[in-house]
Structure 1
């Protein structure tokens, strides 16, 4: 597929992810633009910087897409950052969040309006709320699972309190001021009203005004009103009433005192349960129901982001929502300040295909000359017509650089019809990581792992169980909702009427647990061939796993999901089937994410470097042939997709994984270490409720984590103490995510404390600590091998088809763990100084000598920084070659041929040859050797493409190299190619 861009569309050559929050603002980003430009970065890749919940460290808890996050900076600050980028010819990709908003913030004015007005809110259709849920008591109400305990207990402890502000009433719950339905406030205003009347003459204007306000509230349309005219009336009149009440309280202190006394009575007295009856009655009148947060798992009636109660889904399929939420984004595109978009969690959208086309259409409208202003009525029509014409001429028309966060499972491809340039790179990350794992040792690792943990469960079975667990616990409400929806469908046909609600719900759970991908993409009643295969596979597998269930229930569910309507189906029936299938699609993704990424990845620990977002831990490594095949596929379909090796969501830092990968080459060494470490640490472990702590699986995870994240070189006491703290925090998160001995929902503090006691004793900085003495040799060995695999990893990322993406700080060794560990502030001052020193030293001694020095001092990470600097600046100078060039796998010959990955990129008469080692542990055989020179590579020879000459320049070291002829082929001996640096980029321009 030849993607066509609008003239002027910016295609990045290299991106750098920045995480904005109050600790890293626009002004600080502006300060490092020159550094990033020098490094070779073409585009900033910015986390969301629209308004988010106060104190947000990541920006995904958006509260208002139309304004900047004030904690990050002002619009003037942003303009200065944009000017700095523009001055260096750099672009900016913005991470945009279209799926959800944070609903636990007073700054989310749309949600607050919904809470005040229920279905009558002007924003009621903005959020994905089921106003007629399974639980009839919630009809026309929103469940608000904010409370830390059961509602009645919280109420009678006096933790819910009414307050008055500027003519409106609120209830404070969980530190959030939630508006009351204005009409329900009659209960407050009329309480003790007869007593108040005694203080005024009958015709007193103050009393008259209060009574008039009461009358106005009595005539205010209710919050269940759905007639548009009545909704507008309610919206208009309630604001007038608030202003009148505020003015009255300001002008008449007796009225203010009256209200304050009433509020005090409503708020009750702790220790007197009946004193809270009035408040309870008032809260029952609201368009929401306050509840214990645990209630959400079964009764939530708004769609969430995964199982996070504070993040409510928005209905981006609604044009009004789309238009409102994209105002700022489109303005920044129109001004040329945003040149690309990253779409967060595209699978959460009702119809990603339609959304992405609408987004591209909107971007086109910001960049086409001669159009009316966007606010003009004819603007949308003109843009739509222009877009449709261009798309008809070329279905691959892509007017703006957009990539989407999409996790692809084994064998899955991004839908070619999506108008995007690719994904955020999880697919590449796992493909690349796989070639550093020795797949020949898969069975050996099975034996080691299963013996240590005393288990035999395969990965697929673990994933199936954990997805079911998620649906039974944190997402049971979503499963129940689907079950009731399917039950309603079955009741309309006599052939399916006898299927029970329980059996239908169970069938749904089983099929979702067996679903092989995150979601399907039905739209407009069409089912893609791939989606048909996924649904058939999931249903068949679910039926095999449940032989006691009536097979016809699964057949019915499959028919609905595939939209195989009976001939006699009415239009309403067809609409119901389609709505069910679309809802089903939106739930399979969260179940996969929670069941796989956030549960199975912490339970199936055979080799932790495989447990990565988008990864398949059941598959032990990737062949070079598969890696090349995937690169060729990318050239064909999505040549400008992002290539990642670390993101804010990855489970381990990009230099942690190569260390753990090295274990795959050392099964015997790993096995001996495990046996010995368990014996040494046996007495350090304790027990909790007659259960050994930690269990075998947790201990296995712990040792791999230590090997992967252990700091380089000698560690001072402060650094060591910080490291141990990070390990403790990581383990608690890992244990809770695993949901075996503790969890986020029900933390087992006793068990967790026992695990931490074990960790503290194992890592005690005691000279007599036998474990640390015996741990050190293997740690140093895998760290040694891991550094060279890391260099290969980053080089292959920078030269493979696609756009290399760098996560903040990863230009030096990145030994971080899962968030929040990988979101720590980056020391940019140190990196700026380091690059400056490298450039100065390069000018003094040249690149080749500098690399030789850096190889000797490799533990400080400067070699990685310098490699990135050299390669990215070359890539920027040859942007067309890397952007549009072809791709040819190269195959080495000789005894060490399996230890090198090589390919050629070409455009016109220019050619680039890339070569990097893999499986370094078995290549070297011992940790005192380097992967360079003839001693290591022997007779291994890399044949080069025919017809492009014999003279090359290694753009990393500036060496001039001449190809040799061996056995009828022109090429390069690897011992010569990797004479001093174990990676190479050769450039030939006849």
Structure 2
């Protein structure tokens, strides 16, 4: 090899071999990631998959509140730091994938120039069409701004709304919020000030500015005309700013005028002028609680500070993607993860538009075409995955030009393998007996959906109902459907949806979409009150499917019906997400490891056969999508989840323990309004949380360690009770209940007050932790060898006993991770010290290096389930990846608690416990021996192809064997 060859950087694969998800923020930006690139390369990562790094709201911990798509986030780093990171990545053969946010922007405050322009210019703003605002939905045609911390009148009379002038621009301020005034107010304000200036040059200049502002015509109908108006207005504002700076009399006059308008808290009548000023704006400032009923801009779920974008507009698409497209064209960005794809008006059209632009950028003279090893090729110009939650029976639409999803469904399937379905009845009984009532999942799900529609997303439902009522009035066939009836039918139907959304357009309705809608409508009709006119359900169904204009019915405007159907689809997803993930998952706690993003708590476990089918389906349809065990959005860390799964292997013991703990801790509870605090459901959730998240090295007498755990668990439980919306919530927190909950958590984790409970809890964790660790290693191996692209969440190479965010976004110990990867430690020693997590990193690193050495085997190789026979056959997952004479055999145990033996201290199943259980390999194609990459041992392949499981899993609890 020549010196030049040695310095040639390795190519970046067009299809990722493996990604690492990183959460960037202030303090962990481009420079910090650059320092970690050698570690990621050594680990076997091919692409860094970064959280949003475009300009977000100052102090953002997640980056999803974008305020400028055309700039990098300065808190993460400038362009020089970004380029240095890219150079480091490329030097090691790594690519970069960006988590991109097309659905919404951060609004409110004083930092989004597009939003501020809309406030100042109203509907005339060229940016007004970018935001999904329904101006007609407001009672007075204005944009509702639900930002006030109290009733508008109270805020006004306290003097918290303050008129001000800064840099020649008039605004009303409310703490961090700024509400620009429309230009038509400037002449009156300036003339009021001029009246108090002595006659002369200053007064003349101020009056001249008033006249000049009055001459501006803000009604320009084109973007070009609006741009000219901006220049004229900005010039006048600059002149005003200079005059105020240069002339003390003018400055004093304007300050006096502002003081007069701002009023005095001791004189409510003095705020009349300020109130009138605000009433003449294109917006209406309001108490934040008003949003649920009256907001008229689409939000990200029910977050007022995140306003939905109309990304279907070509001009917005180009403007919001200009930086991303430049980075793609320059070869600095190799892929995109599209956040909240279901929030878009037409997801398929968006993805097609994205790939069309990418094709021009990556396939033209001088462009940076994707590099690759040739092992696998993209079917589209750009690697794109979408954040999409699929129902159990749902598939990602194959016509979408993407590589697949971000892998929630794999995470759920993998964790479900370690749940024993035989325990379902016992755990249900334990749970309901602890609660003292039944907990019917389907009824609770419907109740949660109706709650969200009635409380959190009522305004969005109202907008849709009014829009559909307007359509009903277009034809005599539906004129008698009332607004109330339509709203009720919409509520009933949306509450019955079993998928996040359908994808009906004005041009087509797929058969599966029609099935989902028909099913929901049928369930809604069946549940409707006897006195209800059922024909309204048929009308709503015909609108949702756009059959109103497909069946030759008279009077309906096709564009109105299509718009309604597509806007309705943007509501069903948030309803599902808020009711399931953010409500029911904290209300229904039978086995909380099942309560995961993309999961179905009513589905008790996953069989090996179902897992194999899912893998085969992924290889056929989406071979390059992500497969993951942990994300920035997960409810519980990967190892927390599968340790809780172990409860299904000892349901009777769990039932005894939870009753005992409740008895031990009963005196630490309080009673609030005749009800215990915490309540039974929260207490049951708490015990599962402790069992799952208890640190492996925590001694029950370690006061400092327990205090740290109490901080984490209290933060989690506070979020849980607010999300559940039973005893508290985010909108109206019950401080009494929350204080009682915190006292309870801290009391039971206080070694001086709860020594007996802590000893018992620690003993129970010691009982289940080795089996949980086997599960943890097993699911890692499955992730590494299943079809798809393994996605590693930051720091979860070690044990991941995290809880929901922000707990799952704590900083990893990067130095320790890098040091243990460099060290060459025998596998047996890693197993002996399994609690430190290095054994898990060893499995990750071994699997990733195999993917580096043989990418085609995993990107294109066949997937063959391996038959298992013998007394413990159901406790083993095994499959082959095979291509062109090479193979990799995965052996991953499950449900091993009964095999570990009493008092097991290590996650190692004795060989004799497997008895005669064996794998029966298909024709090995001439291969006579297999090498276990995790241990280095070589195993001869018997002529009959039978491999004893006890022998395979004697050194380590999992095995990855290769041949050929």
Q: Residue 464 of structure 1: CA displacement?
A: 1.1
Moved more, 578-587 or 360-369: 360-369
1:448 is aligned to: 430
1:213 is aligned to: 209
User: Contact 2:728 / 2:737 at 8 angstroms: preserved in 1?
Assistant: yes
Q: Residue 915 of structure 1: CA displacement?
A: 0.5
Deviations 1:327-364 (A, max 9, x none): 11011111111111100000000000000011011111
Deviations 1:12-52 (A, max 9, x none): 11100111000201111011110111111111000010100
Counterparts of 1:975 and 1:128 in 2: how far apart (Å)? 61
User: Contact 1:458 / 1:618 at 8 angstroms: preserved in 2?
Assistant: no
2:313 is aligned to: 318
Moved more, 628-637 or 332-341: 332-341
User: Contact 1:875 / 1:882 at 8 angstroms: preserved in 2?
Assistant: yes
User: Contact 1:63 / 1:105 at 8 angstroms: preserved in 2?
Assistant: no
Residue of 364, 388, 411 corresponding to 2:393: 411
2:937 paired with 1:959: yes
2:877 paired with 1:901: yes
Counterparts of 1:346 and 1:82 in 2: how far apart (Å)? 27
Counterparts of 2:179 and 2:129 in 1: how far apart (Å)? 19
User: Contact 2:12 / 2:94 at 8 angstroms: preserved in 1?
Assistant: no
Counterparts of 2:552 and 2:891 in 1: how far apart (Å)? 63
2:877 paired with 1:873: no
1:136 is aligned to: 139
User: Contact 2:31 / 2:77 at 8 angstroms: preserved in 1?
Assistant: yes
User: Contact 1:525 / 1:563 at 8 angstroms: preserved in 2?
Assistant: no
Counterparts of 1:727 and 1:767 in 2: how far apart (Å)? 17
Residue of 501, 504, 510 corresponding to 2:486: 504
Q: Residue 963 of structure 1: CA displacement?
A: 2.1
2:693 paired with 1:709: yes
User: Contact 2:25 / 2:60 at 8 angstroms: preserved in 1?
Assistant: yes
Q: Residue 570 of structure 1: CA displacement?
A: 5.9
User: Contact 2:474 / 2:555 at 8 angstroms: preserved in 1?
Assistant: no
Q: Residue 960 of structure 1: CA displacement?
A: 0.7
Q: Residue 572 of structure 1: CA displacement?
A: 5.6
Residue of 98, 101, 107 corresponding to 2:111: 107
2:259 is aligned to: 264
Moved more, 758-767 or 573-582: 758-767
Counterparts of 1:248 and 1:569 in 2: how far apart (Å)? 65
Kindly report which structure 2 residues correspond to 1:511-910, keeping only aligned pairs within 5 A, or say none.
511-548=493-530, 549-565=532-548, 567-569=551-553, 573-715=557-699, 716-766=702-752, 769-836=755-822, 838-839=823-824, 841=825, 850-910=826-886
2:335 is aligned to: 340
Q: Residue 788 of structure 1: CA displacement?
A: 0.7
User: Contact 2:20 / 2:47 at 8 angstroms: preserved in 1?
Assistant: yes
SS in 2 for 1:51: strand
User: Contact 1:94 / 1:342 at 8 angstroms: preserved in 2?
Assistant: yes
1:924 is aligned to: 900
Counterparts of 1:510 and 1:411 in 2: how far apart (Å)? 22
Counterparts of 1:402 and 1:640 in 2: how far apart (Å)? 10
User: Contact 2:261 / 2:273 at 8 angstroms: preserved in 1?
Assistant: yes
Counterparts of 2:312 and 2:59 in 1: how far apart (Å)? 30
2:951 is aligned to: 976
Relative distance call for 1:571 and 1:956 in structure 2 (3 A) is farther
User: Contact 2:109 / 2:176 at 8 angstroms: preserved in 1?
Assistant: no
Q: Residue 236 of structure 1: CA displacement?
A: 3.4
SS in 2 for 1:855: helix
Deviations 1:748-767 (A, max 9, x none): 00111111122222111227
1:298 is aligned to: 293
User: Contact 1:316 / 1:349 at 8 angstroms: preserved in 2?
Assistant: yes
Q: Residue 932 of structure 1: CA displacement?
A: 3.4
SS in 1 for 2:665: helix
SS in 2 for 1:946: coil
What CA RMSD, in Å, does the superposition of the two structures yield over aligned residues?
A: 1.9
2:914 is aligned to: 937
Deviations 1:857-878 (A, max 9, x none): 1111111111111221111111
User: Contact 2:16 / 2:789 at 8 angstroms: preserved in 1?
Assistant: yes
SS in 1 for 2:459: helix
SS in 2 for 1:125: helix
Q: Residue 226 of structure 1: CA displacement?
A: 4.3
Q: Residue 497 of structure 1: CA displacement?
A: 1.6
Relative distance call for 1:352 and 1:689 in structure 2 (3 A) is same
User: Contact 1:396 / 1:419 at 8 angstroms: preserved in 2?
Assistant: no
1:25 is aligned to: 29
User: Contact 1:171 / 1:177 at 8 angstroms: preserved in 2?
Assistant: yes
User: Contact 2:194 / 2:207 at 8 angstroms: preserved in 1?
Assistant: no
Q: Residue 106 of structure 1: CA displacement?
A: 2.6
User: Contact 2:707 / 2:750 at 8 angstroms: preserved in 1?
Assistant: no
Counterparts of 1:654 and 1:228 in 2: how far apart (Å)? 51
Deviations 1:615-649 (A, max 9, x none): 00001001110000000000000001000100000
Q: Residue 940 of structure 1: CA displacement?
A: 0.5
Counterparts of 1:584 and 1:913 in 2: how far apart (Å)? 47
Counterparts of 1:554 and 1:893 in 2: how far apart (Å)? 53
Q: Residue 187 of structure 1: CA displacement?
A: 3.5
2:70 paired with 1:66: yes
SS in 2 for 1:544: helix
Counterparts of 2:601 and 2:291 in 1: how far apart (Å)? 31
Counterparts of 2:718 and 2:668 in 1: how far apart (Å)? 18
Q: Residue 500 of structure 1: CA displacement?
A: 1.5
Q: Residue 565 of structure 1: CA displacement?
A: 2.2
2:50 paired with 1:46: yes
Q: Unpaired segments of 5 or more residues in structure 2?
A: 1-10, 370-376
Deviations 1:886-930 (A, max 9, x none): 101112100011110000001111111100100021333534165
Q: Residue 970 of structure 1: CA displacement?
A: 1.2
Q: Residue 664 of structure 1: CA displacement?
A: 0.7
Relative distance call for 1:401 and 1:228 in structure 2 (3 A) is closer
SS in 1 for 2:70: strand
Relative distance call for 1:546 and 1:927 in structure 2 (3 A) is farther
Counterparts of 2:887 and 2:57 in 1: how far apart (Å)? 50
Residue of 913, 919, 936 corresponding to 2:889: 913
Counterparts of 1:742 and 1:55 in 2: how far apart (Å)? 27
Counterparts of 1:932 and 1:434 in 2: how far apart (Å)? 21
Counterparts of 2:165 and 2:614 in 1: how far apart (Å)? 62
Q: Residue 824 of structure 1: CA displacement?
A: 1.4
Kindly report which structure 2 residues correspond to 1:414-433, keeping only aligned pairs within 5 A, or say none.
414-433=396-415
Counterparts of 1:236 and 1:38 in 2: how far apart (Å)? 54
User: Contact 1:221 / 1:233 at 8 angstroms: preserved in 2?
Assistant: no
SS in 2 for 1:830: helix
Moved more, 552-561 or 796-805: 552-561
Counterparts of 1:761 and 1:157 in 2: how far apart (Å)? 41
1:946 is aligned to: 923
Deviations 1:490-532 (A, max 9, x none): 1222222222211110111111111000000112431111111
2:382 paired with 1:400: yes
